[in-house]
Amino acid sequence: MNKSVNIVLNSKNSIGGLSTTSNLNNSSYFVNLRNVLKSDKKYRLHWTYIGGQNKLVGLKDNAIATVYLDFGTNTITPTSGGATTTQFIGFLKPIVLVGSSNTIYFQAEDNTNLPIYLDSVPLNPTINVRVLDQAGNLYLDDTGAVSMTGSTASSVLTITAVSTGNIAVGSYLQLSAVSFFVSAVLTGTGGVGTYSITYAGTLISGTVSNNASQVGNPNAPYILTLKFTEEEDED
């Protein structure tokens, strides 16, 4: 029986993690594969992905998402002449929440995409994962404009009134001159309620809106599982 090794990547535990300077759809991880895989073996790479909640207004075109995996060296990279390979490893399926027209969860099961063949174990200890839209840009959650009334204190955002928009895990928001990510929903369903955020400063109150430097919200946090299975030795 062929031996397999599973590597689990949690976007909240990536290099940089969930912060106002990171986009979860361009995350890197320290994983020294040579410590867990045999350097003289070839491998098949299967993978699964499950993401948190995304809000899409009208399920627009950017509901299509693709995943790119970069091992840094001797990996799936463009070649000159002959067949061309890329860092593209497959697609994500948007699963619509029952009873909703704009709440989805991206996922990929083991049989959603074909496995990837690796001729040797990657040498670089850093793995980069990118989730892109169909235009090749980092995927952004299509939540529309956010305009709400609320306040922040002790890493919690409290929303008391909603004019437009929805809040989800990963939302990049601004209140006064402070920008922050939403890391968890405490109460509520995207509007009036409380949310854990990446700002732990003193009390601020006023209008909560999308951060001016971002067109939309980053994709929700995700867990990506990589399964490396040894290939049979040739006779």
Q: pLDDT tens per residue, the chain (235 residues)?
A: 678 999 999 988 888 666 545 678 888 899 988 888 988 889 999 999 999 877 665 445 556 789 999 886 544 444 444 444 468 899 998 888 776 666 788 999 999 999 988 888 888 888 899 988 777 778 877 656 789 999 999 999 999 999 988 887 777 889 998 988 888 889 998 899 999 998 998 899 999 998 755 555 566 789 999 999 998 776 5
Indicate the residue type of 171: S
Amino acid at 60: K
Q: What are phi and psi of 78, to 5 degrees?
A: -60, 145
* 55 and 62 Cβ atoms separated by less than 8 Å: no
Distance in angstroms (rounded) separating the CA atoms of residues 114 and 127: 20
Distance, in Å, from the CA atom of 50 to the CA atom of 108, rounded to the nearest integer, reads 7
Which of 58, 122, 131, 129 minimizes the C-alpha distance to 96?
58
Q: How many residues appear in the chain?
A: 235
Q: What is the pLDDT of residue 125?
A: 86
**C-alpha angle 29/31/35, rounded to 5°?**
175
Q: Among 225, 219, 139, 211, which residue's Cα sits nearest to residue 175?
A: 211
Where in the chain are the domains?
A: 4-140+219-230, 145-214
Neighbour-count burial for 159-191, b at 16+ CB within 10 Å, e otherwise: beebeebbbbbbbbbbbeeebbbbbebeeeebe
pLDDT the model gives residue 133: 79
The answer to whether the beta carbons of residues 195 and 155 sit under 8 Å apart is no
Kindly report the pTM of this predicted structure. Answer: 0.70
Tokens for 227? 């399964």
pLDDT at position 156 is 96
CATH architecture observed for domain 4-140+219-230: Sandwich (2.60)
Cα separation of 62 and 104, whole Å? 12
